[in-house]
A and B are shown apart, each in its own frame.
Chain A
Amino acid sequence: MPATERAAYALKRAAPPLAVIAVLVGAWEVYADTGTTNRLFLPAAHSVAAALWNNAGLIASNLATTAEEVGLGLGLALAIGLVCALVIHLAPLARQALYPLAIGSQAIPVAVIAPLLVFWWGFGLLPKLFVIVLICFFPVVVTTVDGLAAVDPDQLKLLGTLGASRWQAFRFAELPAALPAALSGARIAVAVGLIGAVIAEISTAGTSSGLGHLIELDLNDLTAAQTQVAWAATIVLFAFAIVCFYTLGLGARRLAPWADHSSRVPS
């Protein structure tokens, strides 16, 4: 595709969400201007934009912290989630033993226990990583387990007729068949992982940077009249989630191009 055509395509893709965002921001601006809500609690869209511009450096450095946490957490969650999914898939006993625990782990009130983690592990990265991994590994486990189970039984039969061992059936059929599902799990995980990072930053006291920390700081100290910075940080978080999701989507296409052609080829 030539560059101009690609640009036109990108514009066409971006137009609908941009239109929705424009309408929402417009409504926000109008509502804030009516003055029904205190400016401190709901700053107008333009003042948030100004705060974003004036504090770009501050927000960027905090975003870097959050991005690092999410990146590390997602990587760990992928590793743990994939291992769990494999064990659950390969050993029925492990499925019975582990799956309920994995589901139950999602009901752990992370915001409440996060401060306790600090007592156990100190103020470092570890408590935050734990929160992110706890939230992120679950979608990876569920989608990968389902992906591994959804392998075409005829493909396994074919490998059987060619004399494949259990490991080879796994290597040539089950693993690649499950890859697109696992990557979808990763995309869900990155979206929820961001909120996990923010919760972790807010609830593990002693944090000194990160978007969650910045938001909490500016919302808690109303006398400083900095709520628009908190809003600006939220907007950045919002945009970052979208970027992460689509970046992983592009990666998935690269890693598992067959997923786009899964509709059975005309036989």
Chain B
Amino acid sequence: MVGPSGAGKTTLLELVCGIQSPDVGSVAAQPAVLMPQRDQLLPWLCAVDNAALALRIAGIARAQARAQASAAFAELGLEGFERAMPWELSSGMRQRVAFARTLLAGKPVLCLDEPFGALDAITRAEAQRWLAEALLREPRTVLLVTHDVEEAFVLADRVAVLCARPGYVIAELDVKLARPRSRTDPELVALRERALAALATGMSAHGASEAPASARD
């Protein structure tokens, strides 16, 4: 899902995850787990214990939870950093630990809220690569929210373009490109332009100038 701030992207994810309940209507989704915008690693737990948090909450003993999380660490290229404390990790690594935590929650649907929003361009490209690889190994339904239209087309099978106030889907684009995808692929570029055009239409239709500052994106 791509869309401007205030389109209700985070709200939508929280509805799917059951953190909020809708005022009207209903959400039909498999059990989902949220990876919040900030990585939210707990500073008193080492990296592997952060990743194993959902397992511990499910009642699995620490040693066994750690073993399971360590396996996920290896697959995400985090081996050797199991016992590192969160403040010792780079932002890209923290994001990987947060993703491992989300994955290990064992839910069929993953809701990723701008997971790479705070990363620099190089770290972000790398993050997109490991995310794509991880999902190839362990397929899940992923609902990804991003500001970055290009990121949406590099990663997604289907891109929903949202428009703000009122938030609604202004365009839905299927992405039938083979993986791994190149961001310079002409087909991907063409799709990206269509999405950007849809976003621009949505903005002008509702008057970008009257859009107030939103409390959250």
List the interface of chain A (C-beta within 8 A of B).
Answer: 154-155, 157-165, 168, 172-173, 176-177, 179, 256-258, 261-262, 265-267
- Cβ-defined contact, B33 with A261, below 8 A: no
Nearest B residue (CB) for A157: B19
Pick the contact of B44 from A163, A168, A176 — CB < 8 Å? A176
Among B69-77, B83-91, B132-140, the one that faces the other chain is: B83-91
Known contacts being A163-B57, A257-B85, is A155 close to B40, with CB within 8 Å? yes
Query: Which of B17, B42, B86, B118 contacts A161 (CB under 8 A)?
Result: B17
CB of B34 within 8 A of CB of A161, answer yes
Q: Which residues of A contact B87 (CB under 8 A)?
A: 258, 261, 265
List, in ascending order, chain A residues with CB within 8 A of B42's CB: 155, 172-173, 176
Interface: B39 (CB within 8 A): yes
A–B Cβ pairs within 8 angstroms, 8 of them? A155-B40, A157-B19, A161-B19, A161-B36, A163-B57, A257-B85, A258-B86, A265-B87
Residues of A contacting B: mostly: helix
Which A-chain residue is minimally distant from B41 (CB atoms)?
A265
Q: What distance in Å separates the Cβ of A37 from its nearest Cβ neighbour in chain B?
A: 54
Known: A161-B34, A266-B91. 14 other contacts (CB 8 A): A154-B36, A155-B40, A158-B34, A159-B57, A161-B36, A162-B57, A168-B56, A172-B42, A177-B44, A258-B85, A265-B86, A265-B87, A265-B94, A267-B94
Q: Distance in Å from the Cβ of A204 to the closest Cβ of chain B?
A: 42
Shortest Cβ distance from residue B103 to the other chain A in the assembled complex, whole angstroms: 12
Q: How far is B193's CA from A198's CA once the two chains are assembled, in angstroms?
A: 78
Bound: A46/B56 CA distance, A:
62
Do B38 and A154 have beta carbons less than 8 Å apart?
yes
Interface centre among B43, B45, B85, B89 (most CB of A within 10 A): B43
Once the chains are docked, how many angstroms separate the CA of A163 from the CA of B107? 11
Chain A, Cβ-Cβ closest to B54: A162
Task: Tell me which residues across on chain B come within 8 A of A172, comparing CB atoms.
Answer: 42, 45, 53, 56-57
- How many Å lie between the Cα of A265 and that of B41 in the bound state? 10
Structural contact, B86 and A163, CB atoms closer than 8 A = no
Q: Complex Cα distance A266/B39, Å?
A: 10
Complex Cα–Cα for A40 and B58 (A): 71
Among A161, A163, A173, A177, the one with the most B-chain Cβ atoms within 10 Å of its Cβ is A161
Chain B hits for A256, CB < 8 A: 44
The residue among B38, B41, B87, B105 with the most chain A CB atoms within 10 A of its own CB is B87
Closest A residue to B39 by beta carbon equals A267
Q: How far is the CB of B7 from chain A (nearest CB, A)?
A: 21
CB distance from B39 to the nearest CB of A (A): 6
Contact for B19 among A160, A179, A257, CB less than 8 A: A160
Alpha-carbon distance between A154 and B41 when the two chains are bound, in angstroms: 11
Q: How far is the CA of A261 from the CA of B94 in the complex (A)?
A: 15
B113 to chain A, nearest CB (A): 11
**Central interface residue in B34, B41, B42, B118, by most chain A CB within 10 Å:** B42
Contact call A267/B38, Cβ cutoff below 8 A = yes
Q: How far is the CB of A251 from chain B (nearest CB, A)?
A: 16
Question: Which residues on the B side are within 8 Å of A163 (C-beta)?
Answer: 54, 57-58, 105
Alpha-carbon distance A157/B33, docked complex (angstroms): 12
- Kindly report which residue of chain A lies nearest to residue B36, judged by CB atoms: A158
- Nearest chain-B residue to A257 (Cβ)? B85
Alpha-carbon distance between A262 and B58 when the two chains are bound, in angstroms: 28
Complex A-B, nearest 8 residue pairs according to Cβ-Cβ distance, in ascending order = A258-B43, A261-B87, A176-B44, A162-B54, A161-B34, A158-B40, A164-B57, A267-B118
